[in-house]
Chains A and B, each alone.
Chain A
Amino acid sequence: MLGPAWLGLRTLRRRPLRTALTVAGIAIGVALVFAALSVDAAASSGAAGYAAQLDGRADLAVQAFGEGTLSQATVATIDATSGVLATSPQVRRPSFAWASPGAGPGSSPGTGATAPAGSLAGIGSVGSSGLGAAAAGGAPAASGAAALAPVATRSLGAVTVVGVDPNAYRALHDESLASGQALSSSDGAGVVLAEPWAGAHGLAVGSRIALMGGGGERTYVVRGILAASGPALADGGDLAWMTIASARALFALPAGSADLVELRVDPAVGVPAVESRLEARLSTQPYLLSTSADEAAALAGASSSLGTGLLLVAAVVLFVGALLVSDALAMSVTERTREVGLLRAAGATRRQVHAMVLAEALGLGAAGSVLGLVVGALVAAVLVPVVGSVTGAPVSGTPIDPGSLAVAVLLGLLVTVVAALGPAWRAGRVAPVEALRAPTRSAPPAGLDRSAVGGAAASVAGTAVLVLGGAVTASSAQGGIAGTAGPLGALVEAVAAALAILVLVVAAGLVAPPVLRLSGAIVGAVATPLRRSLGAEVRIARRSVAHDPWRVSVAFTALATGLALFVALSGVADGMRRAGEAWIADVAPADYAVVAVSPVPDSFGTELSAVPGVRSVTPVRLFDVAIAGRRASAVAVDPGAYGGLGALTVVGGGSRTAALASLQAGGAALVPQAIADRFGLRVGDSLGLRTASGSVTLRVAAIVAHSLPGASGESVVVSQSDAARSLGITGASMFLVRADNPADAALGTALSRVAGQYALSVVRPAAIGGAVGGALDRTFGLLDVLALAGVVVAALSMLDVLLMDVRQRVGELGLLRAAGLTRAQAWRAVVVEAGILGLASALVGSVAGTAGSALVLAAGSGAPGFALGVPWPAIGLALVLGIAGTVIAATYPARLAARIDIPRALRAE
């Protein structure tokens, strides 16, 4: 029977303001969920599209592992594997370029190339060069270091050289020439550049550039420029293609060798089958396999972890919206107790009463969802480009994604209906005799009942969000989020934060009564000096709040949740920023880092020392090693000098002095926590390290919190003498420079001048820290905005509660007015009550948010002694927001209270 359900819908029209508030609350939640899902979809389709552009028709790539290339025999084996349709062997490694006016300055004997501290320079950026990324990062050959001669021409900076067999390469990739000609197979002196890089340096067809490689330095003529599409999107477009023969000559690589082989797989055979065949056949050399799906997933990871963060925050906002619905329906049921009793007396069944309340909820949910979709599409249109700029990964796709649309609507309806279950159940329990009972002024004995309803609604809705959050986290994790790399990986942890907050805040609903009393006391104490002018209002407000805390507990929980989210996000961002600063200070305690594309002799340090204003120069050498057959990074340092800078915090294995002394004595390594966890290493264990030129077993002398990041994450710290003696690693890939006066900007310029002559570049670790901080600020700023939306929804809920409160207390207000309460006093009493509610919510929100952020930071840092702090500014802001939001919400109900018609209010009883 439709009757009562129809009545439910009619109710929505009876209280248009409440209906509008509730719809707005749901709409904001649905809008954010829709926007977050759309952004996520756009980000992953963008990433997939990007990866597809980079990979072209290649399905798989085999990359050389560690210090070495794939030999001619290996390349031939790959080519001969059945199921492989086409292969494109490539050399792909970093180089340094100069504009060359004529012939390049005579060839200078080069050295093997190892990745510079690329990871250090690349912190916070999310880029990829497609299947060949790892090879470009660190695939190198010989390891000696030779003398360098300065060059006098204009430096063009770092560029990735890609050596290809043009025909084989074009079989896998679509190049689109912007000008000039494509590379021909026999061209020994030509390069093709990508448009962005060529454009940035004013290079055109016919320009000459000099490139440095392990085989010395050579000069090339620009034959063509590729438009920024397809493979030219890799490495931000800093690319130079040449024939693979030229590249082998430039980098002094053996004939027939390659850094990686891209290959196309026979669809009839399938990628997995070819993968296992390759695994079976490639046994002589270490290698790394990657599929284009891996690549897309890794790329999508960064954007999607932001998307996940957005989604989680949006889900919390929707949860707050659910509380609003639950509260509005509970009020509606309370107000209509007599009416429901009348219906029951007239023969309505419980089911019909349930149907009535659920219909009311569905009406709210449907209206909210529709409105939310419209708003959400607008929000997504704004967010999609913002997310692109925050993550640095390309984002594309329409803001309106059908899947996201369906999920958002379903979620909106589901949450509303779940929130309605409590009130519906309660309405069903109204006895027919309620209709006959005279309405009483004293507040209904709703306490326990209300707590049950509020608690049930909160926990059910909370559970729904938890499940959703869990699902999202799991799916993102499968999507290949590293989890710990970079500020965006930490968003995964923000997810955990949101969940923790939910749990905390559902509990917070239960602490409402004492907290409300406490904040009433605080307001009372604050108002004491104003007692003569404000005493009555404060007293009335405090009584009213303390009288029936359950009445406001749901709105209170909603506001506390929104504020907790806000505080937690700020806390996590602060903690990460501090951790980032501490990390820089720990691993690169220098004013400048001078980074080499390929290792240079330590003696170059003396040239840097000669620059006026330089106090000290400490060389370090990052290199690749294999640990238990797996690729890792290591760094060779002079223990005295590096330790003297204040670097390294020992977290296991005695004092720092002792650790540095063991390193100095030789035969020992310091292992960063991350590697210790990865390989299960403990102090005193033996650690086998292998490079192309040797191997050594070292004792783990200590575990350190962090160390310099190399191509494969944080590095094992070894002494220069061990590295040179046993691993064949010499020279320096980076010089840490201390200035006499760190604030002296001129020093940076002077260092750059010297470094540029030798193909070295200068970075400021502090600037990296700043860039990380900036990325963090943008990311968390975005999330904060969403959290504020939650605060707005909660304020709507407060408005609703206060309206109800004023309506219920019309008689009492009339009495007070008759006894001499002025309009201004009535207005202030309601506003002060709101202030107490806002303060209480902010208190709980701050505590829960701080606890949540501490949990996340503790879980995320892994190491003890992480920087735990209370985000005071955020708490201050939460207090202001909580109180101001509620007080602003209270102005309308306060006006109603001030304007009541006394005779009518008295008569209403």
Chain B
Amino acid sequence: MRPILEARDLTKTYRAGDGEVRALQGISLAVEPGEFVAFMGPSGSGKTTLLQLLGGLDRPTSGEVVLEGVTISSMHDDEATRLRRDKTGFVFQAFNLVPLLSARENVALPFLLAGSGPGDPDVRARVDDALRLVDLDAKADRRPSELAFGEQQRVAIARAIAGRPAILFADEPTGNLDYATGIEILEYLYRSCAERGQTVVLVTHDAQAGAYADRVLFLRDGRVLEEIGLGRRSEHPARPLIERLALLGQ
């Protein structure tokens, strides 16, 4: 099968002060449709940088990113933005929601940005559907400040999947949550993948989280140090990953 997302020899160098930081030093990877991939690695290893390049939020210093057959990494900003709007969804560690908008409006945001009104029946159906998936249809009209942090992250997930994106990127979505709430969020991510065939790319520190993935890429110093195939979550427990990570010095 043709990969939905491909990275070829990505490097990213930041200028910091008078020196340079080589955040990514040549990363190649491919993500298959419907796959759940996790990036793990120590702090500063380049996980966030990689995710941003893959999602078209930033441009690589060299190399290319191909999303559904189009090279997003060399696109004009407007094209890349539109591609992002239509083909990707993002969940960040925190502050995913526009504080001025209600949960429902936040979920509808990509449609809104594409020019549809929130009253559009098709949009409404998709938004309601996404909210149902994260079990928040009852609190759809609350403002983010009126939601618990875990609920806010669920709204973010709903937004990320509402547009039926080709791929969903999540950068430590559970980083600010307690254990139980974190698991809940991961369950929702997993559900979207398992029930709807949503492709998910997850960045995480946490082995419990990584264990939800089909495959884990372990990064260090801007390179892929190790690739760990796990298979579907329903078919494996978390323990083998944890042991493996321990070997890698995590």
Contacts and interface: CB of A to CB of B under 8 A. Distances in A.
Question: Which of B77, B95, B159 gathers the greatest number of chain A CB atoms within 10 Å?
Answer: B95
Interface string B159-189: 1000000000000000000000000000000
B99 A812 contact: yes
A818 B98 contact: no
Contact of A815 (B84, B98, B117): B98
A536 interface: yes
A823 to B, nearest CB: 6
A299 to B, nearest CB: 62
B10 to A, nearest CB: 14
A200 interface: no
Interface residues of B, number: 34
A820 B144 contact: no
Nearest to B92: A906
A648 to B, nearest CB: 64
Contacts of B113: 536, 816, 819-822, 825
B99 A441 contact: yes
B115 interface: yes
B81 A817 contact: yes
A535 interface: yes
B85 A442 contact: no
Given A536-B112, A536-B113, A903-B52, A821 B81 contact: yes
B170 to A, nearest CB: 12
B78 A824 contact: yes
A442 B144 contact: yes
Contacts of A443: 99
Contacts of B117: 531, 535
A903 B81 contact: no
A244 B50 CA distance: 107
Nearest to A528: B117
A818 B99 contact: no
B100 A547 contact: yes
Contacts of B145: 442
A795 to B, nearest CB: 25
Interface in B49-78: 49, 52, 55, 57-58, 77-78
Interface string A439-462: 001110000000000000000000
A544 B49 CA distance: 30
Contacts of A441: 95, 99
Contacts of A815: 92, 95-98
A823 B78 contact: yes
A846 B97 CA distance: 38
A532 B112 CA distance: 9
Contact of B90 (A544, A818, A907): A818
A177 interface: no
A342 to B, nearest CB: 23
Nearest to A902: B57
B99 A442 contact: yes
Nearest to B114: A820
B179 to A, nearest CB: 21
A744 interface: no
B92 A539 contact: no
Contact of B58 (A533, A811, A820, A903): A903
Contact of B85 (A535, A812, A819): A819
B110 interface: yes
A816 B99 contact: no
A610 B48 CA distance: 102
Contacts of B49: 903
Nearest to B96: A815
B95 A811 contact: yes
B94 A820 contact: no
B244 interface: no
B58 A902 contact: yes
Contacts of A535: 112, 115-117
A820 B82 CA distance: 6
A903 B49 CA distance: 8
Contacts of B86: 820
Contacts of B55: 818
Given A539-B112, A818-B57, A825-B113, A909 B78 contact: no
Interchain residue pairs A-B with the least CB separation, the first 6: A820-B85, A543-B100, A442-B99, A532-B115, A822-B81, A820-B113
Given A539-B112, A817-B81, A822-B77, 20 more contacts: A441-B99, A442-B99, A442-B144, A535-B112, A535-B115, A536-B113, A536-B115, A818-B57, A818-B90, A818-B92, A819-B159, A820-B82, A821-B113, A822-B81, A822-B82, A825-B113, A902-B52, A902-B58, A903-B49, A906-B92
17 contacts: A441-B95, A441-B99, A442-B145, A443-B99, A532-B115, A811-B95, A815-B92, A815-B96, A817-B81, A818-B55, A818-B92, A820-B86, A820-B110, A821-B85, A822-B82, A823-B81, A906-B57
